[in-house]
Structure 1
Amino acid sequence: MRRRLLAGSQSELSASAAPSASNCCALCEREVQQLSRHHLIPREEGGRHGPTADLCQPCHSSVHLLLDNKELARQYHTIEALRGAEKLQKYLHWIRRSRVERISNRRGNK
């Protein structure tokens, strides 16, 4: 495998070092120390064995704070849809410029 990578073009080499190999949040695209698994369709809505995405803790907490499970299942069941969610725009603008690794659990403050 090493030979194939070395024989490839420079673009192939940089593609192999893409953020997917590191701890990159799927939503805010920041590199963080830890990721948590987010069910794109909430388990309560039948998504127990469905697709998941790795999110940093602040993003995961904020998604569940700002969107309820029915909205997540019906409208925001892909990362692209989550990135486009109107309710998340202000948060995403802030977090992409931030170095925050952890946010207190805010679910009860709705």
Structure 2
Amino acid sequence: MGRCCCCQRETWLTFHHLIPRKVHRRSHFKKHYDKDQLAAGILICRQCHNGIHRFYDEMTLTRVFATPEALIADPALNEYFSWVAKQRIRTVDKGR
């Protein structure tokens, strides 16, 4: 558990690659980025992670949104993150 850097909720987090793994094998990215840059990412909640990938394809994420600041500054994503921040956190009841 931790704080999502997009919606600021305290919940379970997933790892979001800032340069999506789908493009890592392309020669352009192998040539221009080292392994640490390709592996860089942020911890975000599942709802924010799903929203990012629903709004933009991998190439757009790579070229335009390769920093946390760029993700948060985008008006459409910012509006979505604000909406997510107001949502109840879903918990998984493993006992039932």
TM-score interval (norm. to shorter): 0.7 to 0.9
SS of match in other structure, 1:95: helix
Match of 1:76?
Answer: 65
Q: Which residue of 1 aligns with 2:47?
A: 58
1:24-67 per-position Cα deviation (integer Å, ceiling 9, x unaligned): 112112111x1111101001122874201111000000100011
Aligned residue runs from structure 1 range 1-110, under 5 A: 23-32=2-11, 34-46=12-24, 49-101=38-90
Any stretches of 5+ residues in structure 2 without a counterpart? Answer: 30-34, 92-96
Unaligned runs of 5+ in 1: 1-21, 103-110
Rg larger for = 1
Shift of 1:86: 2.4
Deviations 1:44-103 (A, max 9, x none): 12287420111100000010001111111011011111001122132122112222337x
Distance 1:84 1:101, change over 3 A: farther
Tell me the TM-score normalised to structure 2 length: 0.72
**What is aligned with 1:6?**
none
Alignment partners' CA distance in 1, 2:3 and 2:19:
21
Structure 1 CA distance, aligned partners of 2:69 and 2:41? 13
Tell me how many residue pairs correspond in the alignment.
80
| Highest RCO, 1 vs 2 (Cα 8 Å, sep ≥ 6) | 2
Q: CA RMSD in A?
A: 2.0
| Cross-structure match for 1:3 | none
Percent identical among aligned pairs is 32
